[in-house]
Structures are given as structure tokens and as C-alpha cells.
Structure 1
Amino acid sequence: MKLVSWNVNGIRACVRKGFLDYFHEVDADIFCIQESKLQAGQIELDLEGYYQYWNYAERKGYSGTAVFTKKKPLSVKYGVGIEETQDEGRIITLEYEDFYLVNVYTPNAKRDLTRLGYRLEWEDALALYLKELDAIKPIIYCGDLNVAHQEIDIKNYKSNYGNSGFTPEERGKMTKLLESGFVDSLRYFYPDKKDIYTWWSYMKTIRERNIGWRIDYFIVSERLTNRLIDSQVHSQILGSDHCPIMLEID
């Protein structure tokens, strides 16, 4: 089974930049997007053979998630009960026979860290939610998680210490989650591989020089590791300031 996750930074703009070419070429069984930035009725995607599930933000042109899946899920849930989360369309959970898929667009703490407190509350609530699901059946948790977990996950880690997405608090929440029975699939296969990034600033030549952050993840329940085949970053794919990531699992 092949799963893809991509923060498209506006699906309508991404479609104009080749989204559908990549979508059909990669032929994923499940394709998750974050930051769709639209409301119901603003786009009609002809994705033959896929069920589509959208979680829209109430605010126009902001946030939002979607999942496109070949296999119809047993159930679909939007949000995790946090009021602000519900308004921003940040989570979709699909239940299948032997696992849960949780597609997430994690809130940014903001450059001045004014939203760090909310971000940490979010992390605690989401961790509790993931553990509750994991107690029922294993999970595949993916999306733009807005944190570079380790120094290896960010090009200029020294100058970014304490910045949004690389604060000790945000990184600590990721560590705590992983220690509670989950695995970062890319680091499972490539624990020491450097220069693997999923987001780059739009500033000139930044992406060309690969000055990036790895903030997009496939995280799985520990007991799924024996079924993992590979975890990839498709950095050559343009169309957004993020690139797609892919998980192959038996």
C-alpha cells in the first residue's frame, strides 16, 4: 500500500502547477493534503477511482485538509473536539479494517510565538487522541506537523534555536509522542541521513541550495514497523513550498 502526504499551500494554485500530473503518476492508495485553502464548491477535482473527504476551515483561504482514498473507509471523523481545531479544518481521521489514518495540519506557533501556548495544548490533546486510537488498532499519522524534530531535520539549526517550529517545547512534544509507542518512519529507515527536507522558504535560491526544514512526517504505531517497506521524500516535485512525502507499507 502506498500513501502520500503533501502540504499543497492552496490546492487551486497547486493544480495549476502540476498537482494532477504528480497525483496520477504516483498512483497512491491514499493521498492526503494539507492547507487546501478553500471552501466547499470552490474546486471540482476529477479523481476517478477515489473517494474524497474534505475538512474546510471556516475562514476563507486558510488551512483545511483532505484525503483521497481508493478504498472506502469504515468511518470518517473531522477534528478531535478542540473548538478552535474544528474551525480550522486541521484533522481528518479515516478508519479502516486494520488501522486508522490521521491526516493533520498542525497549527504554527507564529514567528513571535504568540500561539505557542495554544500549539502546546494542541499537541497534548492530539497525543491523547492518537493514544486512544492506538489502543483500538494501529495508526498512521501524517501531515505537516510544523516542527523540525532533530538538528538533522533543519539546515541551519544553530541560528534557528528557539524559533517557531524549532523551539524546545515543540520538539519536546514530538519526542514525548515518539517515546509513547510511535515511530518516525523516515528516521526508521534513514536515521543519520542529512539534507532531507520537506519545506523551503520562497526566498530566492533557497530551495535550489536545499536550505530547508523537514516538517512533514509519516509517523506510525510501533507495532507496524515490521510492515514498513520504505519512507520517501519527493523533493523534486514542485508546485508548493512543501514537497510530497510517501510511505510504502505492506
Structure 2
Amino acid sequence: MRIISLHVDGLEQAVKKGLYTWLETADVDVVAIQNLKAKEYQLSDDVVYPKGFNAYFFDAEADGYSGVALLTREVPKAIMTGIGDSRWDLQGRFIQADFEHVSVGSVLFPGVDQYNTLEDKLAFQQAFLAHLEKTRRKRREFIFCGNFEAAHKTVDLSDWQGANDTPGFLPKERAWFDQMFGPVGYADAFREANFGENQFTWWPDEDSARRNQNGWRKDMQICTPNVRQFVVEARIEKNLNFGQHAAVLIEYEFDDEDE
């Protein structure tokens, strides 16, 4: 199973820049998309019905804000939206597709904007952590993909020394990752197969920072412990330009071909 996670600055504009054209030859099974910036009914037909994929959307209540989607080659057994917290579910932050033995989710963490403060962002971290704890009690495996709006370790951003007081790399945010990858038991799937430096997914300055490698690794795929052994490839598609974030591609070679 090959999974792509991609934060776009609006799905319609990403498609116009060639996202769906690229996906036609990308040989992927699931695409987790974040920050649609439109409700499903506002999208054109060629966006809602991508060639070769089944598309599922979860909209935010506000116009032009947030929203997540999953594109799947195989028809899922079930689709779930939201994490059971109306405050965040109204912002369209989570959608999940259930397959035979594994579920794949697309999640968009809030940034600091007109709808959310830093304290709101930290509150969402705790709400999602509680959701992760619930999933660990279920008898299936999970892969959650998305923009976590933060970096975990110093290797995950270029100027970490200058970012210690910056939202996205605050001690509280880094401690949250420690909790998720520690006691809660999830794994950073990307680092199971890719240990390289300068593996960034977001650049503050779109025009020059890609060349200067002045970036952050904010976009991740996290997985339950039993899944980590199946990660065989992990890479960032830096040369694609569908927005300020790069696509994260990870291949999971499950023993069961049906997965």
C-alpha cells in the first residue's frame, strides 16, 4: 500500500497546478489531502471525481477554510468523519477510511489564525491524543497522515536554535510528540525508512527557501506499532509545487495483499 499525504493551499488550485495529472501516473493507493479551503459542493466536478480514485470529503463549517479528503483506489469498507469533538469537527479536521485490516486517516492540525489561537492549537493536540489513545484499544491497525503544524526534533527543521520560542517548535508541542511516540505507542512511519537530514515538507518562503533548505518537517504519517515493520520506502516529493507543502510518500508492504 502506497500512501501520499499532502497539505494543499486549496484543492481547486492544486488540481489546476497538476495534482491530479501527477496522481494518474504516481502509482499510489491512498491520498490524504488537507486544507481544501472549499466545501465539496463548491468544487468543480473534475475535482470531486478524480480519475481512477474514489473521493471522500469532510468540510469545515466556515467557507474557504480547512477541510480534509481521502482519495482511494479501493472502495473502503467504511468512512468516518470527525474525532467526536464538535468544536474541532465543525472545522473539518479529520476523515478516516477503513479497509480490511488497516484504517487510514487524514488530519489537519490548526495553526494560529483568525479561528484559532496558540492555546486552541494546544487544545487540539490533547483532543487528538485522546483520540489516538482510543484507537490503540481497537483490534485493527491505523495510519494517520497530515499536517501536524509542528516539528518534533531538531533534525526536523533547519534553524532549530532560532525556533525554540516559535509556535510549531515550542517545548509544549515537542513534549506532545514525545507523548504520542512514547506512552501512547504510535510510530513516526517516515523515520522507519528515511533517516536523512534536510527532509523538510514546508518552507516559510516559497520562492527561495526550497533552494536554501530553510524548511520544517511538519507533515507526517504516524502508525500503530505493528505497522512500522511494513514500511519499506519513505520520501518527500520536493520537486512538486502544489503549494508551500511537499507530498510525503510512504510504501507499506503488508503481508496480506488485500490490505
Alignment-derived partner of residue 202 in structure 2: 199
Alignment-derived partner of residue 252 in structure 2: 249
Alignment-derived partner of residue 133 in structure 2: 131
Shift of 1:91: 0.3
Say whether the 8 Å CA contact 2:54–2:71 is kept in structure 1.
yes
Q: Aligned partners of 1:172, 1:81: CA distance in 2, in Å?
A: 24
Shift of 1:157: 0.7
Q: 1:155 aligns with which of 134, 153, 158?
A: 158
Alignment-derived partner of residue 190 in structure 1: 194
What are the superposed Cα offsets for residues 28-48 of structure 1, whole Å, 9 maximum, x if unpaired? 111110001001222222423
- Count of paired positions: 247
Q: Aligned partners of 2:218, 2:206: CA distance in 1, in Å?
A: 18
Q: Secondary structure at the match of 1:21?
A: helix
Shift of 1:62: 0.9
Percent identity (aligned)? 25
Q: How does 1:8-23 map to 2 (within 5 A)?
A: 8-23=8-23
What are the superposed Cα offsets for residues 195-219 of structure 1, whole Å, 9 maximum, x if unpaired? 1100012354122212111000011
Q: 1:141 aligns with which of 131, 139, 144?
A: 144
Say whether the 8 Å CA contact 1:109–1:165 is kept in structure 2.
no
Alignment-derived partner of residue 65 in structure 1: 68
Q: Aligned partners of 1:110, 1:187: CA distance in 2, in Å?
A: 30
Say whether the 8 Å CA contact 2:193–2:232 is kept in structure 1.
no
Alignment-derived partner of residue 30 in structure 2: 30
Q: Aligned partners of 2:54, 2:191: CA distance in 1, in Å?
A: 31
Q: Aligned partners of 1:204, 1:129: CA distance in 2, in Å?
A: 37
Alignment-derived partner of residue 235 in structure 2: 232
Q: 2:221 aligns with which of 207, 218, 224?
A: 218
Matched letter for residue 54 of structure 1: F
Matched letter for residue 171 of structure 1: R
Say whether the 8 Å CA contact 2:206–2:244 is kept in structure 1.
no
Matched letter for residue 128 of structure 1: A
Q: 1:118 aligns with which of 120, 130, 133?
A: 120
Alignment-derived partner of residue 208 in structure 1: 211
Q: Aligned partners of 2:92, 2:18: CA distance in 1, in Å?
A: 24
Say whether the 8 Å CA contact 2:24–2:51 is kept in structure 1.
no
Q: Secondary structure at the match of 1:200?
A: coil
Matched letter for residue 190 of structure 2: L
Q: 2:173 aligns with which of 162, 166, 170?
A: 170
Does 1:2 find its partner at 2:5? no
